[in-house]
Amino acid sequence: MYRTADGEEIFVIDGHMHFWDARPENWRNKYGEGWIRCFYDYHTSLSPEEYLWSFEKYCKYDEETLVNDLFFEGYVDVGIFNSTYLTEFYKEGFNTHRQNNVLKQKYPERFILCGTFDPRQEAQGLEELRQMARDYPVQGIKLYTAEWRDGSRGWSLADEWAYKHLEVCQELGIKNIHIHKGPTIYPLDKDAFDVHDVDHAATDFPELNFIVEHVGLPRLDDFCWIAQQESNVYAGLAVAIAFIHSRPRYFAEILANLLYWLGPEKLLFGSDYALWSPKWLVEKFINFELPVDVQEEYGVELSMETKRKVLGENAARLYGIDITARQEQLRQDSIGRQLAEFS
């Protein structure tokens, strides 16, 4: 919870966070090392200096660190686990729903768990998707269309088997589909993250919500044109919001485009923890103002009402969270009681 200087409470949902295992012992091959070093390059180039971690800590941080960074220091009320598997690169997976569910079970009101599917598994994948939904409290799906599998270096949401998996999601009542459509990460291929397939799926599955993580960067224009016409396409700000520190003008232009094309109701905050800490992202966003010339050119403004929507209200709507009721629940859990002692 973020409290403004005048005492206003802002409910914060971190729409994109992880609890990964990138220890050298878990690297399956050179790509496991290359992946986490690429992440670490993003971390060191975009973070404020006081938030930099050592590479060793970055590879595997513990539960205490995560809980502290999100809930005690980072203002987060609820975090959404964007599970990321990468079993071609990591022996036990990078950040799977099984790993994340350990924390979900320990702090049930604090986390939302996302699973995944891979249409290249065809019929077996459909059964695994149903089994996952039976065995785990999965409320969303996270997809990596550029993930490698058995010689394949990517797939499309418009593929026949992708549609069959989306039909099962609809059948299971899993409505929120998070899709990485942003900057490439070594060794994945940039073109496999292209946003054009979102247009197909969003049109054909109007009852599902497609949260395009990283707002399609570096394809912002393509994403905005798609999201403007598809009412069920949303913008996940993870990675994009990290430019608020090192390139605030660039972030202002990204945000202005999103507000112009999509409006304030379709933007979701995400820290991409542990790439970055939510603390400095939330603080800088609360205090951020669009330059006057940008406001004038795009005809938009960044009001406190808009900031509340972005930081939590929009994600709460998509996940059916009653903020008032959830606040009361959180005051009573173990983290909430500890926070009350220090307030």
The reported pLDDT for the residue numbered 341 is 76
Question: Stretch 147-154: mean pLDDT, rounded?
Answer: 96
The reported pLDDT for the residue numbered 14 is 98
Closest CA to 14 of 133, 104, 108, 110: 110
Question: Is pLDDT of 4 > 90?
Answer: no
Share of the chain above pLDDT 90, in %: 94
The reported pLDDT for the residue numbered 343 is 58
Fill in the amino acid letter for 137: P
Q: E-assigned strands of the chain?
A: 2-3, 9-10, 13-17, 78-81, 111-115, 138-143, 176-180, 209-213, 233-236, 267-268
CA 185 to chain centre: 15
Three-class DSSP category at 183: coil
For residue range 238-265, list pLDDT tens digits in order: 999 999 999 999 999 999 999 999 999 9
Under the banding of pLDDT at 50, 70 and 90, the label for residue 304 is very high
Question: Is pLDDT of 94 > 90?
Answer: yes
For residue range 9-63, list pLDDT tens digits in order: 999 999 999 999 999 999 999 999 999 999 999 999 999 999 999 999 999 999 9
To the nearest whole number, what is the mean pLDDT of the chain?
96
Question: Stretch 76-98: mean pLDDT, rounded?
Answer: 97
Contacts of 169 (CB under 8 A, 6+ apart): 117, 129, 141, 175, 177, 208
Element spanning 252, H or E: helix 248-261
Question: Stretch 184-202: mean pLDDT, rounded?
Answer: 95
Question: Is pLDDT of 305 > 80?
Answer: yes
The first and second tokens of residue 299, run together, are 């005809």
The reported pLDDT for the residue numbered 313 is 98
The reported pLDDT for the residue numbered 342 is 63
Domains of the chain: 2-334 (3.20.20.140)
For residue range 101-150, list pLDDT tens digits in order: 999 999 999 999 999 999 999 999 999 999 999 999 999 999 999 999 99
Euclidean distance between CA atoms 70 and 52, whole angstroms = 16
For residue range 170-191, list pLDDT tens digits in order: 999 999 999 999 999 999 999 9
Share of the chain above pLDDT 70, in %: 99
